[in-house]
Amino acid sequence: MSSLERSDVERLAALARIDMSDGDLDRLSGQLAVIVDAVAKVAEVAGEDVPATSHPIPLSNVHRPDAVRPSLAQDAALAAAPEAEEGRFRVPQILGEDA
Amino acid sequence: MAGLTYEKALEQFDPVFGIEVHVELNTATKMFCGCANQFGAEPNTQVCPVCLGLPGSMPVVNEKAVESAIRLGLSLGCSIRDSSRFARKNYFYPDVSKNYQISQYDEPTCFEGSLDVVLDDGEVVTVGIERAHMEEDAGKNTHVGGTGGIQGASHSLVDYNRGGVPLVEIVTHPIQGTGERVAEVARAYVATIRDIVKALDISDGRMEQGSVRADVNLSLRPKAAAGEDQAAVPFGKRSETKNVNSLRAIERAIHHEVVRQAELLLAGEPVVQETRHWHEDTGSTTPGRSKEQAEDYRYFPEPDLLPVEPSRDWVEELRGTIPEHPAKMRARLKDAWGFSDTDMRDAINADALDLIAASVEAGAKPQAARKWWMGELARTANDRGVTLRDLAVTPAHIAELQSLIDEGKINDKLARQALEGVLAGEGSPSEVVSSRGLEVVSDDSALEAAVDEALASQPDVLAKIQDGKVQAAGAIVGAVMKATRGQADAGRVREIILQRAGVEG
Amino acid sequence: MTDWTRASAADMAAAMQRGEVSSVELTQAHLDRIAGVDGDVHAFLHIDAEGALATARAVDEARANGEDLPALAGVPIAVKDVLVTEGLPTTAGSRILEGWIPPYDGTVTRKLREARMPILGKTNMDEFAMGSSTEHSGYGATHNPWDLDRIPGGSGGGSAAALAAFEAPLAIGSDTGGSIRQPASVTATVGVKPTYGGVSRYGAIALASSLDQLGPCARTVLDTALLHEVMGGHDDMDATSLDEPVPAVVDAARDGARRDLSGVRVGVIKELSGAEGGFQDGVKQRFDEALEHLRAMGAEIVEVSCPSFEYALAAYYVILPSEASSNLAKFDSVRFGMRVEKGNVERTMAATRAEGFGDEVKRRIILGTYALSAGYYDAYYGSAQKVRTLVQRDFDAAFAEVDVLVSPTTPTTPFKLGERVDDPMAMYLNDIATIPANLAGIPGMSLPAGTAPEDGLPVGFQILAPAREDARLYRVGAALEAALVDEWGGALTAQAPELEVK
């Protein structure tokens, strides 16, 4: 597995919505490359026949009944919002489209 | 190239399409929290830490949503996976509170089914279903400033009431071989899904409120030369038109995309694989994000939720609750009722099929029930701008009305007056007949007197009748009906006239 | 006059029942202690004197009225800032959440309120629990009361330091890869990571959902057990919560204190005790002495091998960042927390996250984004999930032979603040012995084993048990604690240098 490049970090930061300055990229890229190389060994050990574990304790069918619980009051829902307007969360202009 | 028509385009190209339908379930609560699932509340009043994506909150699956998804899957002929999982679809967007959507990815609950779609002329097209999976809806952005659209808006406002509402997404396999009927098949497919979810009572099926929404993929490929297999021709590049939210819009969007893509191909230009947005006002689509720059959604199994592992017994129990397939039910009713294709189509389009069925169930003859619902009542509903269901008349009323006619207690004209009374809330047809005094005059002596009087006043007509011109009796019938204010049985009046004139019928 | 801050929670509860002290007196004593020493220790991010005293007064009144009260009613507690508290600021150690007042209580918070325990405040932690030293807190590092120049462990360094500095008798922690046990180890306190699902995670700000577990922290094994029983139990707000009774850990702790371990088989994990793990001499020495105590109480000591542990650290540093990259996406400036406005919403989100997150959080988000991205999923996340299966199999095989497994909790005694902050890999190696339990979901405890002769700093002893067998930790832990306290002539924390009270 080849090491992580600075350009990879730049692309990943964009995907993760974190602005990075050149200085950030310089600092973090080197550290990340070391970490990526170190963790790549996970691919060495387990064969095709080993199943993946996503939950440490296997459970299934944990569902809740379709019964209404109280919601938050509108002012409580909006209390921590950086900006609110007309009972809604206000955000700056959205450029992208619906996914 | 301008002026290329849909028909011309499809003479040269073979369309391949697929549809993703999102069905909003009518559960009492949201997919992963106990907030009410109800359309139209004040903004951000049906929200909690879970659906607002507050730090520390965790989702728990609504069991009713699982049940609805499995029932829908079974109705689409799908297999139900022994163990299915939720996954996170990661992307940043303000209406997705957690910036990931909980969906299902590589292990959907329902997979590999097929659905027979019946076109207006009775032709059946079988659509392959790839999967039906559960996921949560997003909130709603309102764009402020500019023209109200996303372009030119100064800022946006987000309401998370819809965020977390349970959805089932149904994905088809590519549908081939529909040729010039592609738009019709697409429309009929979505209509069939809508009918099924309503029959299952898992969704209100209201497309105008977004309860059933469709994304339409379409590509064109060259028509195979004579003797060649069309299926061997590779698919072209496809567009995905998002949020096409009415049956008519589905047909229009496909028309538009067929023509748009054909024009590009004929001009030697490539079709770009991309998401496109549907514009109802102009009947056209515009490009969204191109798939080449698409988000990398980084799906992974949702660690806060556990596998859904429905027992065989439960699945079989749910299979037992699946109502008859709407298309099959229609075919059966059409036969049983002796309706023509037109009768049937009109009744379906007027959403009157179940009203007719209920009237028949209550004792009315099918044609009589059809006549009332599709005639008088359809006109009234149309005049008032309401649906048939909004009228104050029930299938039981119609059955009762018709039986009053069949028993000879009222005639058609009186029946219409009785119906007026029912619509005005005056009670059942019998009650209106008695309160308005609408019963036919069935006392022969009274009718004989009226006939005698009419014959006496029109001796020339009497002569004609006696001459054998029996049809002249119509004038006397009219006079008698007028004299009895319509409350006579015209047939009986005619018999008496002929009797009195000495020309037995 | 008794210095109640030195007492155990069990003794405080008993004294209140006997009427020797009131909850207000206890609470005030701890608030005074915090005022005196926390300027140097910096265990707390937020202190709620008013709220704590109000709860204390209500408990005292209730007791005066002869009401039945829960076992720990009136005993004050410190809460790691990872747990959501309605009306109290909750930041998870991150600037991006500065000033956030949650509109709801986490399930454990609710249980503490129902147990009528005064909440003294919220304790410092590495940002979003990413770290082993609290140096990644957005609000400055916590200092180890044993040596203010050294790390108190992490991520729950605030909770552990509060206990070691006698600022609180009990504290809530969260453990994703050792964040309860490693701080306990380096501060000579006790901490337990319960079986995954044993304590509700609802309201615990998620780091890595499949690894996180809230747990109790205290200065004695019995106190830890008492808090464990308050916190634990099924919760229908957490789908991964076990629908089972809380293990009888208090009984187990009392049982263990009788110092009879006959018939108990103790497995020493070869891979976590030998020279290969980079274990400091003094750590190894104290660990071996603890084994002798266990043997003396009747336990049978055997060596077991867990070969897959070699890959555990790598698997952990794939799974954790992957889940964290998704869990931390909600910090986007829309509904709560910091906003750095910069044109459109996309740029505003990116600017906010750049400003609000520290370097370690950014590193792990980028790493997780990479591990989940198209084309890399199978090699990283998929493989790591398989390693997880192998680690579980190693534990299953080991627990077929022995009742509990043991190792030193950390390879070294606490290092100096600043020593490893720019070397992430060196920092990550701290967790080598604690991580396997989180991968497998099994319970683990760290308790003091003494101080290393070479530096006089605390050494931790780790006990691991099979899933759902949390009670075994307490039985063995309480036995060892009793033997060691006997040897030391009192609790190890009493040997810590006195802090200057300001």
* Contacts (Cβ under 8 Å, ≥6 apart) of B312: none
- pLDDT per residue over B225-266, tens digit each? 888 888 889 999 999 999 899 999 999 999 999 999 999 999
User: Is the pLDDT at C28 greater than 50, yes or no?
Assistant: yes
- pLDDT per residue over C112-161, tens digit each? 999 999 999 999 999 999 999 999 999 999 999 999 999 999 999 999 99
In a domain, C216, yes or no: yes
**What does the DSSP assignment read for chain A?**
-PPPPHHHHHHHHHHTT----HHHHHHHHHHHHHHHHHHTTHHHH--TTSPP-SSSS-----EE-S---PPPPHHHHHTT-SSEETTEEEEE---S---
More confident residue, B377 or B500: B377
How much is the average pLDDT of C179-207?
A: 98
- pLDDT per residue over B283-292, tens digit each? 999 988 654 4
Interface contact C284, partner A, CB < 8 A: no
In a domain, B259, yes or no: yes
Tally: H helices and E strands in chain B? 17, 15
Q: Are residues B470 and B397 in the same domain?
A: no
CB contact (8 A) between residue B305 and residue C239? yes
Q: Are residues B299 and B387 in the same domain?
A: no
In a domain, B319, yes or no: no
Strand partners of residue B219: B16
Cis ω for the linkage preceding C155 (within 30 of 0): yes
B59 contact residues in A (CB cutoff 8 A): none
Phi/psi of residue C488, nearest 5 degrees: -80, -15
Confidence class for position B386, pLDDT limits 50, 70, 90: confident
Cα of C447 to nearest chain A Cα, Å: 24
Give yes or no: C155 in active site: yes
User: Is the pLDDT at A96 greater than 70, yes or no?
Assistant: no
Task: Tell me what pLDDT residue B417 has.
Answer: 87
CB contact (8 A) between residue A56 and residue C379? no
In a domain, C326, yes or no: no
C103 contact residues in A (CB cutoff 8 A): 72, 76-77, 79-80
A56 in Cβ contact with A33 (< 8 Å)? no
Alpha-carbon dihedral C418, C422, C426, C429, rounded to 10 degrees: 80
Closest CB from C239, C325, C332 relative to B58 = C239
Q: In terms of C-beta density within 10 A (0-12 exposed, 13-18 middle, 19 or more buried), how is residue B63 classed?
A: middle
How much is the average pLDDT of C73-80?
A: 98
Q: Which residue of A has its CA nearest to B156?
A: A91
Confidence class for position C397, pLDDT limits 50, 70, 90: very high
| A 5-64 residues inside an 8 A Cβ radius of C | 8-9, 12-20, 24, 27-28, 31-32, 34-36, 38-46, 50-57, 59, 62, 64
Q: Are residues B275 and B343 in the same domain?
A: no
Q: Spell out the alpha helix ranges (H) of C414-469.
A: 424-428, 435-440
User: Is the pLDDT at B1 greater than 60, yes or no?
Assistant: no
Q: Are residues B201 and B262 in the same domain?
A: yes
Residue burial C173-186, b: 16+ Cβ < 10 Å; e: rest:
bbbbbbbbbbbbbb
Q: Are residues B419 and B460 in the same domain?
A: no
Cα of B140 to nearest chain C Cα, Å: 13
Q: Are residues B354 and B266 in the same domain?
A: no
Of C384, C255, C370, which is closest to residue C312 (Cα–Cα)?
A: C384
What's the CA gap between B57 and B45, in Å, rounded?
A: 18
Interface contact A66, partner C, CB < 8 A: no
Q: Are residues B254 and B339 in the same domain?
A: no
What's the CA gap between C401 and C398, in Å, rounded?
A: 5
* Contacts (Cβ under 8 Å, ≥6 apart) of B368: B398, B402, B405
State the DSSP H helix or E strand holding residue C325, giving kind and residue range, or none if neither: helix C312-327
In a domain, B484, yes or no: yes
CATH of the domain at C167: 3.90.1300.10
Interface contact A82, partner B, CB < 8 A: no
In a domain, B153, yes or no: yes
C92 contact residues in B (CB cutoff 8 A): 55
- Token output for C288: 């071996």
User: Is the pLDDT at A71 greater than 80, yes or no?
Assistant: yes
Q: Are residues B200 and B86 in the same domain?
A: yes
Task: Tell me what pLDDT residue C306 has.
Answer: 96
A81 contact residues in C (CB cutoff 8 A): 334-336
Residue B324 Cα distances to B76, B150, B154, B190, B330, angstroms: 12, 43, 51, 18, 10
How much is the average pLDDT of C160-177?
A: 98
In a domain, B429, yes or no: yes
B462 in Cβ contact with B473 (< 8 Å)? no
C215 in Cβ contact with C464 (< 8 Å)? no
Strand partners of residue B116: B126
**What does the DSSP assignment read for C202-233?**
TTBPPSSTTT--EEEEESSHHHHHHHHHHHBS
In a domain, C334, yes or no: no
Report the amino acid identity of residue C341. Answer: E
What's the CA gap between C334 and C338, in Å, rounded?
A: 9
Task: Tell me what pLDDT residue B494 has.
Answer: 85
User: Is the pLDDT at C43 greater than 80, yes or no?
Assistant: yes
CB contact (8 A) between residue B298 and residue C201? no
What's the CA gap between C321 and C128, in Å, rounded?
A: 12
Boundaries of domain holding C152 = 4-310+387-495
CB contact (8 A) between residue B61 and residue C239? yes
Helix C359-372 crosses helix A22-39 at what angle (to 10 degrees)? 60
In a domain, C354, yes or no: no
Phi/psi of residue B215, nearest 5 degrees: -115, 130
Rg of the Cα atoms in chain B: 30
Task: Tell me what pLDDT residue B471 has.
Answer: 83
Q: Pick the range with the lowest mean pLDDT from B135-149, C228-242, C405-419.
A: B135-149
C326 contact residues in B (CB cutoff 8 A): 88, 90, 100, 298, 300
Name residue, tokens 């219409």.
B416
Task: Tell me what pLDDT residue C426 has.
Answer: 82
Strand B284-290 to C44-47 pairing: unpaired
C240 contact residues in A (CB cutoff 8 A): 55, 57, 59, 62
Number of domains, chain B: 3
| Residue B415 DSSP code | H
User: Is the pLDDT at C259 greater than 50, yes or no?
Assistant: yes
What's the CA gap between B287 and A98, in Å, rounded?
A: 12
Interface contact C488, partner B, CB < 8 A: no
How much is the average pLDDT of C237-252?
A: 98
Name residue, tokens 């169930």.
B361
- Token output for B284: 């056209």
Name residue, tokens 């075994």.
C472
pLDDT averaged over every residue in chain C: 96
- Token output for B368: 């009589």
Q: Are residues B114 and B255 in the same domain?
A: yes
Number of domains, chain C: 1
User: Is the pLDDT at A97 greater than 60, yes or no?
Assistant: no
Q: Are residues B151 and B42 in the same domain?
A: yes
Phi/psi of residue C200, nearest 5 degrees: -60, 140
What's the CA gap between C136 and C127, in Å, rounded?
A: 6
CB contact (8 A) between residue C329 and residue B99? yes
What's the CA gap between C258 and C82, in Å, rounded?
A: 36
Q: In terms of C-beta density within 10 A (0-12 exposed, 13-18 middle, 19 or more buried), how is residue C497 classed?
A: exposed
Cα of B296 to nearest chain A Cα, Å: 8
- pLDDT per residue over B89-103, tens digit each? 999 999 999 999 999
Confidence class for position C172, pLDDT limits 50, 70, 90: very high
Q: Is residue B205 classed as helix, strand or coil in its secondary structure?
A: coil
What's the CA gap between B48 and B32, in Å, rounded?
A: 11
Interface contact A99, partner C, CB < 8 A: no
- Token output for B41: 């509340």
Query: What's the distance, CA C226 to chain centroid?
Result: 15
Strand order, beta sheet including B300-301: B100-103, B87-90, B300-301
Give yes or no: C193 in active site: no
Task: Tell me what pLDDT residue B410 has.
Answer: 84
Task: Tell me what pLDDT residue C91 has.
Answer: 98
What is the helix, strand, coil percentage profile of chain C, to 5?
Answer: 45, 15, 40
Task: Tell me what pLDDT residue A1 has.
Answer: 45
Phi/psi of residue B48, nearest 5 degrees: -145, 180
Boundaries of domain holding B360 = 326-436
Task: Tell me what pLDDT residue B122 has.
Answer: 81
B237 in Cβ contact with B271 (< 8 Å)? yes
Question: Active site residue: C179, C185, C273, C333, which one?
Answer: C179
ipTM of the prediction:
0.96
How much is the average pLDDT of C34-44?
A: 98
Cα of C176 to nearest chain A Cα, Å: 12
User: Is the pLDDT at C395 greater than 70, yes or no?
Assistant: yes
More confident residue, C145 or B409: C145
Phi-psi domain of B409 (left: phi exceeds 0; alpha: psi -120 through 50; beta: other): alpha
What's the CA gap between B364 and B376, in Å, rounded?
A: 16
Q: Which residue of B has its CA nearest to C369?
A: B298
Confidence class for position B354, pLDDT limits 50, 70, 90: confident
* Contacts (Cβ under 8 Å, ≥6 apart) of C40: C143, C148, C499, C500, C502
Confidence class for position B2, pLDDT limits 50, 70, 90: low
Task: Tell me what pLDDT residue A35 has.
Answer: 93
- Given B436, B471, B489, the domain boundary residue is B436
C389 contact residues in A (CB cutoff 8 A): 46, 50-53
pLDDT averaged over every residue in chain B: 91
Q: Are residues B65 and B164 in the same domain?
A: yes
Interface contact C323, partner B, CB < 8 A: yes
How much is the average pLDDT of B379-393?
A: 88
Q: Which residue of C has its CA nearest to A77?
A: C103
Question: The whole model's pTM is what?
Answer: 0.89
User: Is the pLDDT at B293 greater than 60, yes or no?
Assistant: no
Of C194, C209, C202, which is closest to residue C106 (Cα–Cα)?
A: C202
In a domain, C169, yes or no: yes
Give yes or no: C179 in active site: yes
State the DSSP H helix or E strand holding residue B106, giving kind and residue range, or none if neither: none
Q: Which residue of C has its CA nearest to A9?
A: C366
More confident residue, B24 or B469: B24
B429 in Cβ contact with B422 (< 8 Å)? yes
